[in-house]
């Protein structure tokens, strides 16, 4: 969904950019109308030019509207949006009698080229500039061949040099803009990575690398929203919430030191993550206590999975100065009932955890399932 929204946004931006660029051609059309009004251009030439320009503009917009532009290497169609209208303007330039009247129309197209500098790479802009200079060179050549009386070489040479120099300047501007754009992309990437690191620091336990207490509460809140939506839709599936407490953890710290205790928590995190499924959540709730959420998991499957977790912790091989450090954990779990508040389910899991401890620890206890009711989630 996010990819589709991004594509829609990009297409909208391309459409706006196309409209903005074609305001230049609208101004050029106005200039051609003025040239026709003062008698420098025939009404037939005006009709041909305006028809070609309007048809091309509408075609580009239709292509963006229908998404056909996405088939091209440059979906913005900027290169063609510059070259085609400029080709029509070149034909008009050939109709004019002298360099004085050709100059305004010639340099009006330069403004349109500037819009391409914000999108195209400098190499592409260089090719476009060369093409536009060749356009005008073709006009001069055609005038010399077919209407030499309408050409004054000193004026045409001055105009040609000025036009070529302007195109070169625009290519340099595009090179500068490309550098700014590249730096902006790098800075945005660095900012995004920094933001991700900050987010990770805010939601990850520094010792174990597991989601921290804040992330645990966010996960429970997510389960609350998801469960509420499922209850509303009549499609509620089993959700198991479990609490895990490392047995006699204070004794481990007292006998072997806090460094060994920290190592024990790290290895427990790794062992449990290796057992859980991809959709399961496992976070450090605080101290030696952890929380698990097992979505789409009925009671029998939840018990099997939590027994695997308990067994994985018991199998951890931890030594200190040649002495074996025994690890075990007690787990209390509850199956969320449709309509039950998530906090209530967590309270029942906590009661089951205390039952596991009272029964001798190193075991899994499951709270009795509640019958569905209509309380608010």
Any catalytic annotation for residue 288?
yes
| Active-site position among 200, 288, 307, 343 | 288
In 3D space, the residue among 82, 73, 182 whose CA is nearest the CA of residue 129 turns out to be 82
Cβ pair 332, 350 in contact under 8 A: yes
Question: Where are the strands (E) in the chain, listed by range?
Answer: 239-246, 281-286, 289-295, 319-320, 323-324, 329-335, 364-366
Indicate the burial class of 307 (C-beta count within 10 angstroms; 0-12, 13-18, 19 or more).
middle
CA triple 300-305-309, angle to 5 deg: 145
Give the position of tokens 């030594």.
319
Q: Which residues touch 369 (CB under 8 Å, ≥6 apart)? A: 299, 335, 337
Cβ pair 108, 24 in contact under 8 A: yes
CB-facing half-sphere around the CA of 364: CA atoms within 13 A: 22
In 3D space, the residue among 177, 97, 163, 99 whose CA is nearest the CA of residue 131 turns out to be 163
Q: How far apart are CA 333 and CA 290, in angstroms?
A: 12
Residues annotated as part of the active site:
288
């Amino acid at each position: 969904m996010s990819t589709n929204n991004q594509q829609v946004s990009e297409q909208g931006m391309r459409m706006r950019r196309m409209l903005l660029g074609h305001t230049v051609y609208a101004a050029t059309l106005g200039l051609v109308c003025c040239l026709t009004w003062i008698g420098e251009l025939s009404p037939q030439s005006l009709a041909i030019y305006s028809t070609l320009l309007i048809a091309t503009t509408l075609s580009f917009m239709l292509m963006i509207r229908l998404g056909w532009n996405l088939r091209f290497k440059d979906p913005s169609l900027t290169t063609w949006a510059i070259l085609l209208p400029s080709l029509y303007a070149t034909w008009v330039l050939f109709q004019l009698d002298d360099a004085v009247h050709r100059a305004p129309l010639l340099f009006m197209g330069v403004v349109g080229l500037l819009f391409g500098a914000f999108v195209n790479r400098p190499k592409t802009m260089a090719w476009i500039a060369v093409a536009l200079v060749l356009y005008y060179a073709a006009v001069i050549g055609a005038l010399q061949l077919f209407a030499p009386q309408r050409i004054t070489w000193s004026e045409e040479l001055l105009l040609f040099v000025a036009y070529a120099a302007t195109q070169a300047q625009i290519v340099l501007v595009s090179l500068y803009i490309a550098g700014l754009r590249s730096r902006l992309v790098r800075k945005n990437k660095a900012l995004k990575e920094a933001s991700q690191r900050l987010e990770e620091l805010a939601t990850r336990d520094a010792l174990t690398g597991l989601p921290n207490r804040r992330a645990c509460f966010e996960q429970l809140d997510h389960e609350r929203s998801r469960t509420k939506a499922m209850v509303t839709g009549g499609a509620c599936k089993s959700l198991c919430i479990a609490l895990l407490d490392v047995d006699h953890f204070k004794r481990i710290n007292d006998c072997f030191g806090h460094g060994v205790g920290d190592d024990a928590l790290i290895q427990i995190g790794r062992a449990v993550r290796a057992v859980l499924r991809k959709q399961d959540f496992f976070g450090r709730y605080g101290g030696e206590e952890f929380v698990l959420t097992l979505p789409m998991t009925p009671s029998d499957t939840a018990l099997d999975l939590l027994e695997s977790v308990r067994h994985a912790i018991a199998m951890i091989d931890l030594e200190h100065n040649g002495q074996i450090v025994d690890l075990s954990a007690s787990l209390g779990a509850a199956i969320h009932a449709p309509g039950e508040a998530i906090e209530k389910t967590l309270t029942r899991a906590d009661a089951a955890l205390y039952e596991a401890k009272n029964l001798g620890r190193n075991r899994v206890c499951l709270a009795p399932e509640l019958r569905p009711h209509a309380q608010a989630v």
